[in-house]
Amino acid sequence: MLHLRVIATPDQSAAVTDLLAAERGVTHLVVLPGAARQPAGDLITCDVVRESADSVLQGLRRLGVEAQGGIAADDVELAISVAADRAAREAPGSGADAVVWDEIAAKTGEQTELSGTYLVLIIVATMIAGIGVLLDQPILIVGAMVVGPEFGPLAAICVGLLRRRFDTVWRSLQAIVVGFLAAMVATVLSTWALTAMGLVSRGMLLADRPLTDFIWRPDALSWVVGLLAGVAGMLSLTSKKSGSLVGVLISVTTVPAAANVAVAGAYGVWDEAGGSAVQLIINVCAIVLAGLLTLAVQQLWWWNLARRSRRRPAA
Convert the pLDDT of each residue in 57-113 to its tens digit: 989 999 999 998 999 998 888 888 899 888 888 776 666 667 777 777 777 766 677
Same domain, 27 and 174: no
Domains: count for the chain:
2
Nearest residue to 229 (alpha-carbon basis) of 260, 250, 211, 212: 250
Same domain, 51 and 132: no
Give the residue from 98, 128, 151 where a domain finishes.
98
Contact 305, 90 (CB under 8 A): no
Q: Which amino acid is at 226?
A: G
pTM for this entry: 0.79
Pairing mode, strands 2-8 and 26-37: unpaired
Contact 3, 49 (CB under 8 A): no
Q: What is the pLDDT of residues 198-207, one digit of tens each?
A: 999 999 999 9
Same domain, 34 and 138: no
In a domain, 230, yes or no: yes
- Please state which of the ranges 14-23, 115-124, 213-222, 243-252 shows the lowest mean pLDDT: 243-252
Q: How far is the C-alpha of 130 from the C-alpha of 133, rounded, in Å?
A: 5
Q: Is 231 exposed, middle or buried (0-12, 13-18, 19+ CB in 10 A)?
A: middle
Nearby residues of 264 by Cβ (< 8 Å), 6 or more positions away: 205, 216, 270, 272, 273, 276
